[in-house]
A and B are shown apart, each in its own frame.
Chain A
Amino acid sequence: MDAPAESRRGRLKVFIGMAAGVGKTYRMLLEGHAELDAGHDVVIGLLETHGRADTARIADGLALVPRRRVRYRETVVEEMDLPGILRRAPELCLIDELAHTNVPGTEHTKRFEDIEAVLDAGIDVLSTLNVQHLESLNDHITELSGVRVRETIPDAILGRADEVVLIDLTPEALLERLRAGKVYPAERIDAALNNFFKIENLSALREVALRQVAEEVGAKRLTTELVGSREESLAADAPQAVGERLLALIEPYPGAQRLVRRAWRSAQRLGAGLDLLWVRAPGKQLSDDEQRSLAALRQLASVLGARMLEEESDDLTSAVADVASRRGTTYILIGGARPARGLARLRTPLPQRLMQRLPGVDVRIVADRSRRGNGGSVNGT
């Protein structure tokens, strides 16, 4: 965090965590002190201590831009003083709670927009964020925890950050901090323990946070490798480029569900997107059983969050190759095929054909475990 403020856009560093109380603000303040000790001009633009004594204590010694008062519906609300920060023009500004929504009547709706203005003024910013505030994760985390977080930010904001630092704590340690009154005041502890702060919620959120930061790291590594220097415009696209994308080839028959489940599980482990592709022969009429199977597959895809694609073609390999190229597929999963008949036995099996057409794409044949030991064969059709 150096170089004169006027000559460049400021740098953004975000401390991200799985939940309140992991120590994001504390860490932000520690870094603020380190920069101050190094001779830089550091101010606190906005600090939310939530009554935590440790946090308030560590803020001592750092200059503070006082909040301003904004009148809204007959009440007075305190908000960050963006014009005050810009006037003060420090080298580094500490702004807590990146996802905060401002009260109407201020310059911007969201705090991340305020931060953009600060960065545009050439001021470096340290900020904090809980993982559930990321827009793309909001539904997932609501399902996970039962609590809908209303303040969200577009994922691209995090993608544009120069540095993302994960503040990690085990769920057990966080619960211990909560019970000791280090996160919320005594009257809120029981409610927190009974709602959001459950070990299973925190474990899942921690996994989400770890994965999110891993993706950011991967994205930035790729950007550096490709461009040789960091260019913010590429950051938003990079996660897609490094991310895995699975494509499962299905047909409307009951066994296809097993393939879909296995593909989904693999996608979950890889943190990857999943597409399902059915290549339908032109003019093919579906039997009642097949129609039911297709409806069940569509429902399964919807529940799992997979995208179901249907292509009409009599050339399976070309259709798969086209879709794989279009969707940026990195893995293709296929089920054990029916035995080839007649001249079809002379054809190159489907997995080999796919590997020839799609070099660089992994092809995986998913076994039918219920037939393990029965000598099930795998041939291409």
Chain B
Amino acid sequence: MSTGTAVAIACAAALLGIAAGYWLPPHGRRPARNRLQGGNRRILLPFTGEEISRRSFEAAVRLAKAEDAIIMPAFLARVPMSLPLETALPVQSARGMPLLEAIEQRASSLGVPVDSRVGRGRSARDALRKLLEQEHFDRIIVSADEDPAVGLSYDDLRWMLDRVPAEILILRPAPEDNRRISTEALTGHF
């Protein structure tokens, strides 16, 4: 083999190596992070307080797994009438953000993709309405719990059934079932 041939082979091998290096990530293929694993179906899980019903969360996870869907937990913040609608809400955020984090952690650990949202309005219903105007959701899972720390009011649920163009799943836990997911479920500091 001539020197020229050897150099050509070495160059070709080097180019091949570089190309392989470009296409093969170091730890095996991973999905691009700009895309969510899971299909196109989107399950909205709105909440207003510091807790959500455990049953609602589990239902969302089961459905997301069965339908290859994304869970979209949404914190609905209320803006007092005395403040502009666009105002920052650090106090409510201090309650809602840890719970969003807890839901994301738990759902991700169960292998379900999560994409969070924050809605803002004069009431929980107004915040939800604005969110629904901006984005399409295939299904909404809510807890029928009058406790404002946990769920939407019965009036809000009636409004959703009347007005919202999505499949709505309202869960009413058994009276003794008061299992909830709160910020205590957070792993590590937040």
- Chain A residues with CB under 8 Å of chain B are 139-140, 142-144, 146, 148, 204, 251-255, 257-258, 261-262, 264-265, 268, 287, 289-290, 292-293, 295-296, 299-300, 302-305, 338-343, 345, 369-372, 377
Contact = CB atoms under 8 A, between A and B. Distances in A.
Contacts of B32: 338
B114 interface: yes
Interface string B81-109: 01100111111111001001100110111
Interface string B114-137: 111111100000000000001100
6 contacts: A257-B100, A265-B190, A289-B34, A303-B89, A305-B90, A370-B108
Given A295-B134, A303-B77, A369-B105, A339 B27 contact: yes
A377 B90 contact: no
B46 to A, nearest CB: 14
B158 interface: no
| A-B interface, 7 closest residue pairs, ranked by CB to CB distance from nearest | A305-B88, A342-B22, A370-B108, A254-B115, A339-B25, A148-B82, A342-B21
A258 B88 contact: no
A142 B134 contact: no
Interface in B136-190: 187-188, 190
Contact of B90 (A268, A369, A372): A268
A255 B100 CA distance: 12
Contact of A254 (B23, B105, B116): B116
Given A144-B91, A204-B91, A339-B30, A370 B18 contact: no
Contact of B104 (A143, A253, A258, A339): A258
Given A253-B34, A265-B190, 15 more contacts: A140-B91, A143-B91, A253-B33, A254-B114, A290-B34, A296-B118, A303-B93, A304-B89, A304-B90, A304-B93, A305-B89, A339-B30, A341-B23, A341-B25, A369-B101
B80 interface: yes
B26 interface: yes
B135 A292 contact: yes
Contacts of A255: 33
B94 A268 contact: yes
A258 B21 contact: no
Interface string B22-49: 1111110010111110000000000000
Contacts of A371: 108
Contact of A289 (B36, B89, B119, B120): B36
Given A341-B23, A342-B21, A299 B30 contact: no
Contacts, number: 118
B108 A143 contact: no
B97 A341 contact: no
A341 B23 CA distance: 7
Given A341-B25, A342-B22, A345-B21, A143 B33 contact: no
B80 A146 contact: yes
A254 B36 contact: yes
Nearest to A147: B82
A219 B31 CA distance: 48
B135 to A, nearest CB: 7
A304 B92 CA distance: 9
Contacts of A296: 115-118
B35 A289 contact: yes
B89 to A, nearest CB: 5
Given A139-B87, A268-B94, A339 B115 contact: no
Contacts of A265: 97, 190
Contacts of B101: 258, 261, 369
Contacts of A345: 21, 26
Nearest to B101: A261
Q: Which of A146, A339, A369 has the most CB of B within 10 A?
A: A369
A261 B97 contact: yes
B92 A143 contact: yes
A271 B27 CA distance: 39
A373 B74 CA distance: 27
Contacts of A146: 80
Nearest to A379: B26
A299 B118 contact: yes
A341 B91 contact: no
B118 A287 contact: no
A372 B101 CA distance: 14
Given A254-B116, A289-B34, A303-B88, A264 B93 contact: yes
A252 B91 CA distance: 26
Given A251-B34, A253-B33, A268-B94, A341 B22 contact: yes
Given A261-B100, A299-B120, A341-B23, A142 B36 contact: no
B34 A264 contact: no
B38 to A, nearest CB: 10
